[in-house]
């Protein structure tokens, strides 16, 4: 009985995380090179990928803390729409994080899980406070 309850809670938490991912993606499906932001932070991943799911709280936190300076864009590359949008980036694995300046020029890239503290250090190199 305890195992069933734990599994049910885990499933609910997983679904909640996935819904947050979809909200983030839809909210920021905007044009590239937006001069109102110092940095555009792209996350190439999938809602079905475990390491990508671990990035979800990082993306959300960055958006909450720096949303006026950093545009967070998530592409689910395992969907038709996300795959098409991510074609402009040459990447080998997910998750991949790509950082561009306001003009759309890439200045940093990382593959795999990227802790929030390290993301913040990258953002600071472009004057994000």
Residue 42 has pLDDT above 60, yes or no: yes
pLDDT of residue 62: 98
pLDDT of residue 51: 95
What is the pLDDT confidence band of residue 2, given thresholds at 50, 70 and 90? low
Task: Break the chain into its structural domains and give their ranges.
Answer: 2-124
Of 31, 53, 44, residue with least CA distance to 102: 31
Q: Which long-range contacts (CB under 8 A, 24 or more apart) does 22-25 make?
A: 22/47, 24/56, 24/59, 24/60, 24/63, 24/72, 24/74, 25/74, 25/75, 25/76, 25/82
pLDDT of residue 33: 53
pLDDT of residue 116: 98
Residue 21 has pLDDT above 60, yes or no: no
Mean pLDDT, rounded, for 62-90: 96
Structure tokens at 112: 């795999």
Average pLDDT, the chain: 83
CATH number for the domain running over 2-124 = 3.40.30.10
pLDDT, tens only, 113-128 = 999 999 999 999 999 9
Of 103, 117, 80, 93, residue with least CA distance to 43: 93
What is the pLDDT confidence band of residue 1, given thresholds at 50, 70 and 90? low
């Amino acid at each position: 009985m305890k195992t069933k309850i734990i599994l049910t809670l885990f499933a609910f938490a997983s679904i909640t995380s996935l819904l947050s991912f979809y909200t983030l993606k839809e909210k920021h499906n905007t044009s590239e090179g937006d001069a109102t932001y110092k940095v555009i932070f792209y996350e190439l991943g999938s809602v079905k990928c475990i390491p990508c799911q671990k990035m979800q709280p990082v993306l959300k936190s960055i958006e909450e803390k720096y949303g006026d300076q950093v545009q967070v864009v998530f592409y689910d590359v395992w969907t038709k729409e996300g795959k098409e949008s991510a074609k402009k980036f040459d990447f080998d694995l997910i998750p991949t994080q790509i950082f561009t300046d306001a003009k759309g020029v890439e200045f940093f890239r990382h593959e795999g899980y990227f802790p929030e503290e390290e993301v913040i250090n990258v953002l600071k190199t472009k004057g994000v406070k």
